[in-house]
Chain A
Amino acid sequence: MSLTDYGFYILCATAIVLLATQAFTNPKDFFQVTIFGLADGAIYALVALGYTMVYGIIELINFAHGDVFTLGAYIGAAILAFFAGANEGSFVVVNVIALLLVFPIVMLIMGGINITIERIAYRPLRNAPRLAPLITAIGMSFVLEGIMFMWHGAPTVHFPDLLPHGPGFQTTIGGVFFGFKDVFVVVAAAILVSLLAVFINGSKLGKAMRATAQDRDAAQLMGIDINRTIAATFFIGAVLAGAGGMIWGLYFNTIYYNLGFRTGLVAFTAAVFGGIGNIPGAAIGGLIIGLVAAYSDGYIGSKWTEVVIFGILIGVLVFRPTGLLGMRVPEK
């Protein structure tokens, strides 16, 4: 172990001891904050997965990914507006049907949009120096934000409040409050992440995607069409981000055109924290960053939260660039 490793462990240990102290002295607040953190973290996890998968397969930090997340929320809001109205906030069949219908539609649309982005903006630069697609991705981020800005302008946009809340859909256990929405966010994210895991580890295309990420030339020698596996990676990343955007909208009911900038950076931090390119790492990293953000909001003050998160980003990049889980196996 090197000095930087010790630094990393000491920092982690300090944070854990401080939190444990809080958990004992004031468990009610601690668990309340934890619930907020888990809900946010579940959404960050969904977005972080797209960053990590794309980085894993073409070593591109896809700066536009946060905006794909927001665009998912915008498109979801537009479609759900047809179903919303008097039934906001209540539990009625039409809401359930709307959500069951609109979730897959938005996910597919976002997948399609991201494949198109990859095809026109990144694929032509695949053999260019790495800086070129990176700058293109930043440009693409501005393009997507610009589109959303033109669509609804700068003010916040209302996202239909189709999840039930209020009496009957919330409870307190030991003084800790949580509602249906909190449960929904975590369960929905957990289902999506499980489906991803099954797909990546079990399906032929999922394995081909992993093979392409591990060695692109060797993958081609196996007969894998890497254009297809790379497109599939962008598709799945956007499917998860689109779902994340929908979930965010349903949870907070407010979206705005540059929401993806901050969310994207936080999710990127989560991906780096979990080890960029590492899929389970991104899911765990998302949850942890969500918790960290919530504890920072709760115990330090929300104006410090970005300092804490991006401090973590810098700290991980400097002290532990392979991330929390690291790479379990040497490359070659």
Chain B
Amino acid sequence: MALLEFEGVDAFYGRIQALRKVSISVEKGEVVALIGSNGAGKTTTLRTISGLMHPTNGTVMFDGRDITHTRPSRIVELGISQSPEGRRLFPRMSVVDNLFMGAYSRNDRPGIASDMERVFTLFPRLLERRTQIAGTLSGGEQQMLAMGRALMARPKVMMLDEPSLGLAPILIETIFSIVREINSQGTTVLLVEQNAHKALEVANRAYVLETGVIAQQGTGRDLLASEEVQKAYLGM
């Protein structure tokens, strides 16, 4: 069984249905990408996995456990963290305090300290800015902090919602190479992206979501080569 199993999920905002029978699975060690245009339901999928909202139908399984109706704080403890859309940092807290909040579910002080070191190694920029108030960081720095904060939970699965949004091309390269690095260090990654090209390059496998329905799936390479995907998402 896959590490994360999102099975036949329907999700609603009031009477608006955002997900229809969506099934996604993520194996241990993979990078899985979820692409699709605006309003397709990508963020809704991540919010449902994190327990911020619950499906009306379908199940979410993680590590052999049913987490369909589990509360968000417990889901983080079980090992799923998220760097949400729009970064959602704590704007009036320092960089270090934001990182500490990322480790809120843990109590192993030495482990937290060594993970903080690791985040600073991945993002040396954050080390320089560690006492700065998060709300005053640049967009790129905020994205690094959001990723670092999600890493501080020492997750089994890390979910990233549009980490490249609004960043300069050179910074996008950096972000994606860090995603690779995080993955190679053993963290499974579920990546939501508008930047389909980059996402499909890093991903082992990918799903294409269209207005709440999974339209296609396959390996990153297959989807990069697929005509429909090229037309719709790669602008070719």
Are both chains from one complex? yes
Given that A208-B104, A214-B93 are contacting pairs, would A225 and B73 also be in contact in the complex, using a CB cutoff of 8 Å? yes
CB of B118 closer than 8 Å to a CB of A: no
Q: List which A292-332 residues lie within 8 A (CB) of chain B.
A: 327-332
A210 within 8 A of B: yes
Q: Is the CB of B97 within 8 A of A207?
A: yes
Q: Is A217 an interface residue (CB 8 A)?
A: yes
B91 within 8 A of A: yes
In the bound complex, CA of A215 to CA of B97 (Å): 14
Residues in B162-207 with C-beta less than 8 Å from chain A: none
Smallest beta-carbon distance A282→chain B, Å: 15
Task: Please tell me if A13 contacts chain B, counting CB pairs below 8 Å.
Answer: no
How many chain A residues touch B (CB < 8 A): the figure is 22
B223 at the interface (CB under 8 A from A): no
Any chain B CB within 8 A of the CB of A93?
no
Enumerate chain A residues within 8 angstroms of B50, measured Cβ to Cβ: 220-221
Q: Do B76 and A221 touch across chains, with their CB atoms under 8 A apart?
A: yes
What are the residues of chain B within 8 A of A329 when measuring CB–CB? 91-92, 133, 135-136
Which one of B29-37, B60-68, B81-89, B123-131 is at the A interface? B81-89
Nearest B residue (CB) for A330 = B135
Q: With the chains together, A223 CA to B51 CA distance in Å?
A: 11
Neighbouring A residues of B217 by C-beta, 8 Å? none
Query: Does B105 have its Cβ within 8 Å of any Cβ on chain A?
Result: yes
Contact of A223 among B88, B93, B105 (CB under 8 A): B105
A residues with CB within 8 A of B: 204, 207-208, 210-211, 214-215, 217-225, 327-332
Residues in chain B near residue A204, CB distance under 8 A: 104
Q: Does B42 count as interface, using CB distance less than 8 angstroms?
A: no
A217 touches B84 (CB 8 A): yes
Known: A217-B52, A221-B52, A223-B73. A210 touches B81 (CB 8 A): no
B101 at the interface (CB under 8 A from A): yes
A218 lies within 8 A of B92 (CB): no
CA distance A204 to B88 in the complex (A): 20
Residue of A nearest to B81 (CB): A221
* Residues on B with beta carbons closer than 8 Å to the beta carbon of A327: 92
Which A residues are in CB contact (< 8 Å) with B105? Answer: 222-223
Q: Are B72 and A214 in contact (CB under 8 A)?
A: no
CB distance from B171 to the nearest CB of A (A): 19
Interchain CA distance A83-B13 in the complex, whole Å:
59
Docked-complex contact B135 and A331, CB < 8 angstroms: yes
Residues of chain A within 8 A (CB-CB) of B88 are 215, 217-218, 221
In the complex, what's the smallest C-beta–C-beta distance from B187 to chain A, in angstroms? 16
Residues of A within 8 A of B72 (CB): 220-221, 223
Query: Does the CB pair A207–B100 fall under 8 Å?
Result: yes
Please tell me if the beta carbons of A222 and B102 are within 8 angstroms of each other in the complex.
yes
**B210 surroundings in chain A (CB, below 8 A):** none
28 A-B pairs with C-beta separation under 8 A: A207-B93, A207-B97, A207-B100, A208-B101, A210-B90, A210-B93, A211-B93, A214-B90, A214-B91, A214-B93, A215-B89, A217-B88, A218-B88, A219-B90, A219-B101, A220-B72, A222-B76, A222-B101, A222-B102, A222-B105, A223-B104, A223-B105, A224-B101, A225-B71, A327-B92, A329-B92, A330-B91, A332-B135
For B107, the closest partner residue in chain A by CB is: A204
Given contacts A208-B104, A222-B76, A223-B76, 19 further A-B contacts (CB under 8 A): A204-B104, A207-B93, A207-B100, A214-B91, A215-B89, A215-B91, A220-B50, A221-B50, A221-B72, A221-B88, A223-B73, A224-B104, A329-B91, A329-B92, A329-B133, A329-B135, A329-B136, A331-B135, A332-B91
Q: Which residue of A lies closest to B77 (CB)?
A: A223
Chain A positions within 8 Å of B97 at CB level: 207
B91 and A207 form a contact (CB under 8 A) = no
Q: Mark B100-118, 1 if CB is under 8 A from A, else 0.
A: 1110110000000000000
The distance from the CB of A285 to the nearest CB of chain B, in whole angstroms, is 18
